[in-house]
Amino acid sequence: MTVRRPVVCISCSSKIITRTQIGHKDMQKHSFPCPTCGVLITIIMDLDQKKGGYKFRDPENGRWADDEERAIKTLTFSDELVVPAWMPDNLSPFIATWGRYDADEFRHDEALRQAFVRELFGYAERCRTHFERGNWALFDKESPPIDETSTPRSRLTSLYLFYTKAFMKFTRPTDADRARVSQRLIYVKSVEPARFDELAHYYLGSGRIMSLWREIFSVRNSFINSYSFIQPLIMVGYWKEEYREPVTLTDKRFNELRQLYIDCFETLCRLLVLAMGYEMAIQYGKLEIPTKKASMTLEDFERMPNAAKRDHILKMAIGDLFLQVLDTDFRNGIGHHSAHYEQDRDTIVIFDSKDSGTVSRVVGYTEFCEKVLDLFAAFELAVRFHHDIHIHLDGRFA
């Protein structure tokens, strides 16, 4: 069902027709810039899924209109389905995308994702807080142990497994990609157990275990809070290959997603320093990285500019899993205050960081959101190095 309702911008009095496809949540929130003046208008619909009813709240920066006369534009919203770029105003996203994917498989997986977003992530975060504070009574109250032999290590293993399995439903890496990372985690303990233990205690003693723990869960929290902005793109992954085509996202949340991208990028780069430690132990039996003249420590490598790390990451056995998302020019570009969303062309405009008056890159909004998803997927692969070494340390932080 699609609900049609006109709204008037309180700044310039432009009238826009909104078409909102009702989804399966208790509330839908959609924001868009006024096509005339650019003021952000937000509409919120409360849904009664049991009785099948809905009710709109008063718009932010707008007011509801009684008719559609002299409306300048029609906008269609769905928080579950993408909108094909060609879609006319008289079609709903549901009709436009019907038959392109296995609806039953998508509904099953999306129900799991929504359960995690709404309830289970909060449960996991409570367990994580109790683990960090060493409050085992509260941890076991939230997550009752199977037997009486629970240890910090066994609790942490279960906690990390829960997060890892849950976020697999949100990301795109294949089982083969995950297997390649797992192979490195296992292999280092087989060929260089002493160097692996040295690496673990270096990260423990330097405080990096704790700092990465906090960064990782900060990024995950930001992703969960931003999930509704990019949720429809997850659905495209279920489309049959022959039906793939350009799509658009109805909600434009550049500022929120920009911060998620930046935080995710920076934490991924720090996680890849740890991954490099694994590789150096496996390949050379030491925690130093060969250079043209001699070698450098992991600490030296971490201090290098991220752009300079690419050549070293490329030489890693699994470097190809991360290299494509390490676009430092793009990261620096959207991190600049002048980067912004342009509604007329549905694009992100990035200026030269050294000359803010020069446009260096223009990226479609949907393409930008794809980059956010791809980056988070690589981040989740790299997180496994931290989780592995933290479990080896029996969950210690110091």
The per-residue pLDDT for 344 is: 79
> Number of C-alpha atoms within 13 angstroms, CB side, residue 277?
28
Any domain includes 317: yes
71 and 204 co-located in one domain? no
The per-residue pLDDT for 85 is: 67
* CA gap 385, 46 in Å, rounded: 42
Q: What total number of domains does the chain contain?
A: 2
Any domain includes 168: no
Any domain includes 155: no
- Decide: pTM greater than 0.75: yes
Any domain includes 156: no
| Tokens read off for 357 | 């008056």
* CA gap 260, 220 in Å, rounded: 9
Which of the listed residues 28, 49, 77 is the one where a domain comes to its end? 77
Which of the listed residues 56, 77, 98 is the one where a domain comes to its end? 77
Cβ(96)–Cβ(85) below 8 Å:
no
Q: Which residues pair with 227 in a beta bridge?
A: none
210 and 343 co-located in one domain? yes
Enclosing domain of residue 314? 181-392
Cβ(41)–Cβ(7) below 8 Å:
yes
The per-residue pLDDT for 355 is: 65
Cβ(19)–Cβ(74) below 8 Å:
yes
CB atoms within 10 A of CB 4: 12
Mean pLDDT by groups of 10 residues along the chain of 398 residues = 93 95 85 89 91 92 96 88 72 78 86 93 97 96 85 96 95 89 97 97 97 98 94 85 81 91 97 97 94 92 93 93 94 88 88 73 93 96 98 97
| Residue 131, C-beta contacts closer than 8 angstroms, at least 6 positions apart | 139, 152, 155, 156, 159, 395
52 and 197 co-located in one domain? no
Any domain includes 233: yes
SS (H, E, C) the chain: CEEEEEEEECCCCCEEEEEEECCCCCEEEEEEECCCCCCEEEEEEEEECCCCEEEECCCECEEECCCCCCCCEEEEECCCCCEECCCCCCCCHHHHHCCCECHHHHHHHHHHHHHHHHHHHHHHHHHHHHHHHCCHHHHHHHCCCCCCCCCHHHHHHHHHHHHHHHHHCCCCCCHHHHHHHHHHHHHHHHHCHHHHHHHHHHHHHCCHHHHHHHHHHHHHHHHHHHHHHHHHHHHHCCECHHHCCCEECCCCCHHHHHHHHHHHHHHHHHHHHHHHHHHHHHHHCCCEEECCCCEEEHHHHHHCCHHHHHHHHHCCCCCHHHHCCCCHHHHHHHHCCCCEEECCCCEEEEECCCCCCCEEEEEEHHHHHHHHHHHHHHHHHHHHHHHHHHHHCCCCCC
* CA gap 146, 2 in Å, rounded: 47
Residue type, 348: I
Dmax over CA atoms of the chain, in Å, equals: 75
The per-residue pLDDT for 209 is: 97
Q: Which residues pair with 2 in a beta bridge?
A: 21
Angle between helices 193-205 and 254-284 (to 10 degrees): 140
Which of the listed residues 17, 44, 77 is the one where a domain comes to its end? 77
Dihedrals φ, ψ of 316, to 5°?
A: -70, 150
C-alpha R_g of the chain: 24
Any domain includes 108: no
Any domain includes 170: no
Any domain includes 237: yes
The per-residue pLDDT for 95 is: 78
Q: Look-up: residue for tokens 């070698």?
A: 295
329 and 199 co-located in one domain? yes
* CA gap 282, 96 in Å, rounded: 51
251 and 382 co-located in one domain? yes
